[in-house]
Structure 1
Amino acid sequence: MTTLQAYAAQSSVSYGEISEERFAEIVRGDAPTQSEKVSVCQGLTEMHAASINQNSANELAAELGMTRAALEARCQELCGVAMGAHAFPAELPVPPVWLGDT
């Protein structure tokens, strides 16, 4: 699976399927419909931009023929936040200490 396919798959989770071709067109600059925008933003913001073993944002930018800076700027333009802003945190906070029934 390519990085583009992975982002398009994440974009299709909650708000309807979007093809990798359409995802790429929108990220490269095509105007999305409102439902497409929500889907694309789900993929761009819920996927980690970087993880321990790969830099997904760099890989996606390369597959799209864009620079990382242009990809980040397009994410800000479409979604109003940085890539990976809504991804599951890599490090979870320490749970509170249970003090019992005191």
Structure 2
Amino acid sequence: MAFAAMLKEQFGLTAFIDSCVWGYANDLLKKIDDVYCRNKKGDMYDYDQRNFSTSHVHMMLSAAFTKMMDKAECLIFVNTPNSITTSDVV
């Protein structure tokens, strides 16, 4: 966010920071899954329902992010200690 503030102050550029708009996707998924994806006992998540909700949330975020990139004049990806690495995905 400090980098975005510097871009605004120094160059008059407005930055879009996805996590500031949407928050953390896993927090949203947890809220959805707690309501819609519990098994009949309510003690665990239903695997199929959980996959369904997760795929839909990620598709919506991907589509929204793609639209924002299409509207942008330029893209800057910042590699920080919080960035996801390929070893995090495996």
Q: TM-score, normalised to structure 1's length?
A: 0.29
Bigger share in helix: 2
Question: Higher relative contact order at CA 8 Å, sep ≥6: structure 1 or structure 2?
Answer: 1
Q: Which has the larger radius of gyration?
A: 2
Q: TM-score, normalised to structure 2's length?
A: 0.32
